[in-house]
Structure 1
Amino acid sequence: MGFFTKKQSTTGDPFLDAVVTMQSDDNTTYTSAGAIRNSDIFTAVSIIASDIASSPLQVIKDGVPKKDSGITNLIDGQPNEVMDGWHLKFSLAVNMLLNGNSFAEIKRDGNKVQSIELLPNSSVTVTQTDNGELRYNVGDKKRRVPKENMLHFKYFTQDGLTGLSPLYALRDEIKIQKAGNKMIDNFFSRGINSNGILKVNKAVLDNEAKQNIREKFEESNGSQNGANTLRTIILDESMDYQAMEVNTDVLKLANSKDWTSRQIAAVFRIPVERLGVENTHSSSTQSSLIYVKETLIHYLNCFVSELSNKLGKNFRFNVDRMLESDPDTKVKNILEQVQGSLITINEGRSKLGLPPRDGGDRLLASLNYTYLDTLEEYQRKENVENGEE
């Protein structure tokens, strides 16, 4: 059975051409190119994709990250001839979030990975044979790519084989927000709006006369140089002035935009304050910690699982950068790690961007701490020397 069918279209932008059209069960069509015109969705996707792209990939062996791994240097550095590692990870994350799926082809020379190349979603067709085998075909000529050489990232999936975009859950919210934005735009661009009405009694004025009276009135009351701003307005008996108020219904509609922003933040699982909505329930430090632990880690695991499966190594993303707080707290934490014999002095200096020092590669330990069995042996010797045994 076929999972994806191509819909040929072009936006003139190679990046947007990599976006595949999505079809929901109720025949409502979404395209990612249109979705990212929504400022909240653009912000949510760019935040998550940027954080994934900015997190270095590490190979883990026995629970410890290995240094100078060739495969991580390839992915983070220069995975192919036309793209650096940051933009590869960013593009894969964007396509996964907007379309539910993203693809990259592994090019090998024997058992060695030579490059990893991004594949536009519109060029990939995924099918499953009757015996359950997955087949990936690329391009109009249906070039077959073995499944072991195809990185297929998906976040939300019902069958474990194909992904669904978070945009499916935002169909109604996007419509509401779009309608609200259009109404506000029409109000200010097409509506008759003013800060006041100047009525000239018992006069029939043409356009030129109205313009002259408006300019003279505004000049007299400080609109040009501000000299008469907020001073008393003086009119003769032929004129009446009435101040205007902004339609409160429009202001309420503008304020209700927070509701759709909160819904979008909830679906993408990012803190609402990152979409410009005030959040009084947590500090920025708490918000960042919650974001990493409860949101970003799930997106990262989608990448880690597929990379580990197709590349035969255990991977993880280093997110230390996003867990850092203010500089003083960072220095305090590093100092405690050095004093607690968790890291060496030079490892602590490297976290602060400082060069290593001679003798800084040894772990420090306090004389006040020792192993329990050593302490028991020390106490026994003390008792012997004191004649207590």
Structure 2
Amino acid sequence: MRLWPFTRKTVPAEQKSLASPDAALMAALGILDVTSTGIVVSPSEALRVPVVANAIQLISEAVASLDVTVKRIEGEDEIDVPDHPLLALLRDEANDWTSGFELIRQIVRDALISDAGGMAWVNRIGGEAREIIRYRNGVLQFETDVETGERRYRTVNRVIPARDVIHLLPPHDRAPLTLAREAIGIAVALDRHAASLFSRGARPSGALVIPKGMGEEAIKAARAGWRAAHEGTDQGRTAFLYDGMSFEPFTFNSTDAQFLENRKFQIAEIARAFNIPSPMLGDLERATWSNSEQKGREFLSYTLEPWLRALEGAMRRALFSDDERRDHVIRFDRDDLTRADLATRATTINSLIASRTINPNEGRSWLGLPPRAGGDEFLNPNISAAPEAPPASEADDAAE
């Protein structure tokens, strides 16, 4: 909307210069940037680094694995709406070829990889959402008003209303993959060096010192004999040196000796870029039973919770009608990520029931069990006894 005489200045995504490409254009071309190591870190190249692939998979699949619910706000309470039509799109099939799990996983994955974030179009028929489609990267684009930040969406041939687009934006207007490109570039360089070290012998173990006066043919024969005896599959044989030859082994400097430590440091560095505790990515060097559980809680509170809040807001804005948006919300069930072992859960539920914080039926619902008669009462089973049945004679008199 424009209010004369004020106009809004927008930055169209399609009007970029190849002479001076910005981060968005480079991301659209599949190139994030050339790192200080000289390695171009594209999304496909970054995903070849195991810790990067693990981080993206861990966050996206953890979010998609949570149960999605629609709730209606009544005062200070949120009441489940189990028969809301949106649940069929988010839990079962978003469209004819994509399940709800795949859709949510892909939206979060795009937000972790692309500066443009994760986007999906909501197809409405008669004002109701009938399917959700995630387009290939670059098909669904948007431009941003430089003054207000308003986003306008379009495909190749048509404009799409903003309310019909689920858009999950990364923090800092940059995807974690973009912010970690230097750390990823170093990890790629270390991987390549390790591959060359073990496949081609990037650094020789030593040198043969040949005295003066040894002819060229003798040198060739000595070199061929040494390689035949001590390289390839026939390593470890006893060395025989002749004509005054000697072998001088090479020593590794401090950087070579700490090559493994450098690779471990890159795991921690990339984990910091994605805001994931290192033990969640397989770095168990300093993990213990106590701090592993704490790291799991940190993963939910500091890693997943911001993404869940942002995705809940993006879905609420794009999926509900104007009337429903006032009193309906979409929630992901966090309890699936905080479940402890059965013994711990039973002890916790019993303690909450005894303190009258929850009733038995609420505790049974946490265990996936149906409610039972009389289970809605807030009673302490340790001090409250069920009313005793009257004696048989008294019961008969009452019946007469």
Q: For 2:204 and 2:105, how far apart are their aligned partners in 1?
A: 46
CA-CA distance at 1:360 after TM superposition: 5.6
Contact 1:52 1:89 in 2 (8 A): yes
The runs of 5 or more residues in structure 2 that have no matched partner are 1-9, 17-26, 209-217, 238-245, 322-328, 385-400
Q: What is the DSSP-based 3-state SS (H/G/I as helix, E as strand, rest coil) of the residue aligned with 2:276?
A: coil
Amino acid at match of 1:305: G
Amino acid at match of 1:288: G
Residues 19 and 120 of structure 1 are in contact (CA less than 8 Å); yes or no, is this contact kept in structure 2? no
Q: 1:76 offset after TM fit, Å?
A: 2.0
Match of 2:260 in 1: 254
Give, as a single letter, the amino acid of the residue that structure 1 aligns with 2:47. Answer: I
Between the aligned partners of 1:194 and 1:24, the Cα distance in structure 2 is 33
Contact 1:6 1:125 in 2 (8 A): no
Does structure 1 conserve the Cα–Cα contact (< 8 Å) formed by 2:365 and 2:371?
no
Paired letter, 2:30: T
Q: Equivalences for 1:1-389 in 2 at 5 Å?
A: 1-5=10-14, 21=30, 31-60=42-71, 62-100=77-115, 101-128=117-144, 136-140=152-156, 142-157=157-172, 163-191=173-201, 249-277=255-283, 278-279=286-287, 283-312=291-320, 314-353=329-368, 355-356=369-370, 358-359=372-373, 361-366=375-380
- Residue 258 of structure 1 aligns with an amino acid whose one-letter code is K
Alignment match, 2:22 = none
Question: Following TM superposition, by how much is the alpha carbon of 1:302 offset from its aligned partner in structure 2, in angstroms?
Answer: 1.1
Distance 1:208 1:263, change over 3 A: closer
The residue type paired with residue 272 of structure 1 is S
Indicate how the Cα distance of structure 1 residues 210 and 29 shifts in structure 2: closer, same or farther if over 3 A, else same: closer
Q: 1:21 is aligned with what amino acid? A: G
What's the TM-score, normalizing by structure 2?
0.69
Are the equivalent residues in 2 in contact too, given 1:2–1:127 (CA < 8 A)?
yes
Residue deviations 1:161-183 (CA, integer Å, cap 9, x gap): xx321233223222222222222
Cα distance change of structure 1 residues 6 and 270 upon mapping to structure 2, 3 Å threshold: farther
Cα deviation, 1:208-242, whole Å, max 9, x if unaligned, reads: 97688679xx8999xxxxxxxxxxxxxxxxxx999
Q: Structure 1: which amino acid aligns with 2:78?
A: G
**Structure 1 CA distance, aligned partners of 2:120 and 2:302?**
27
SS, match of residue 356 in structure 1: coil
The amino acid across from 2:318 in the alignment is K
In 1, Cα distance between equivalents of 2:248 and 2:31: 53
Three-state SS of the structure 1 residue aligned to 2:98 is: coil
Unaligned runs of 5+ in 1: 8-17, 158-162, 222-239, 371-389
SS in 2 for 1:325: coil
Any idea what the Cα deviations from partners look like across 1:84-135, whole Å, max 9, x if unmatched?
Answer: 0111000000000100311111111223211111122211221246996956
User: Hey, what's the Cα distance between the residues in 2 that align with 1:177 and 1:219?
Assistant: 30
- Number of aligned residue pairs: give it: 339
Contact 1:19 1:33 in 2 (8 A): no
C-alpha contact (below 8 Å) 1:21/1:31 kept by paired residues: yes
Following superposition, the deviation at residue 327 of structure 1 comes to 2.4
Deviation at 1:248, TM superposition (A): 6.7
Structure 1 residues 339 and 244: CA distance shift in structure 2, 3 A: farther
Work out the CA distance in 1 between the residues paired with 2:153 and 2:265.
Answer: 42
Please give the root-mean-square deviation of Cα atoms over the aligned residues, in Å.
4.4
- Which amino acid is the alignment partner of residue 49 of structure 2? N
Once the two structures are overlaid, the 10-residue window that deviates more, 278-287 or 248-257, is 278-287
Supply the AA of the counterpart residue of 1:265.
A
Do the aligned partners of residues 338 and 209 (structure 1) sit closer, same or farther apart at CA in structure 2, a change above 3 Å counting?
Answer: same
In 2, the alpha carbon distance for the partners of 1:145 and 1:29 equals 34
Q: Distance in 2 between matches of 1:273 and 1:133?
A: 38
- Are residues 71 and 213 of structure 1, via their aligned partners in 2, closer, same or farther at CA, if it must alter by over 3 Å? closer
1:14 aligns to what? Answer: none
Structure 2 counterpart of 1:228 = none
Q: How far off is 1:46 after superposition?
A: 0.8
The equivalent residue for 1:378 is: none
